[in-house]
Amino acid sequence: MHQGVEMERTDDDRRSPGRLCPGWCVARHGEQLGEEDWVHVGEPLTVAEGVTAQLCLSVDPDSGAEDGPYVLIGSSEYTPAATVALGRSLIALAIRAGSRPPR
């Protein structure tokens, strides 16, 4: 399981004790009912006009099984490894553009 802090508990909390919330999560747990309360989300990062990237992880409240973390970019979901590969590809693209001789 990931490292983090214990999620804020409410009086009507049906979560199991000791459930951890990742340190990057900015969700206000306990304010929504159902599945939405078990989704951890990071602060959105603007990567292009109208496009944001955001960390996301969901935890099944009954089994504790985790799905993620993923990086959501627009409406696409990437694993951390795929996100690193995308970042490297973008950097390589920018380097190629910068090394092109002027016309």
C-alpha 59/C-alpha 37 separation (Å) is 9
Question: Whole-structure pTM over 0.75, yes or no?
Answer: no
Q: Which residues pair with 22 in a beta bridge?
A: 4
CB 61 within 8 A of CB 38: yes
- According to DSSP, residue 11 is labeled T
- Express each pLDDT in 66-95 by its tens digit: 899 999 998 999 999 999 999 999 999 999
Tokens at 18, concatenated: 């000791």
As a whole number, mean pLDDT of residues 38-58 equals 92
- Express each pLDDT in 14-39 by its tens digit: 333 335 788 999 988 877 666 667 78
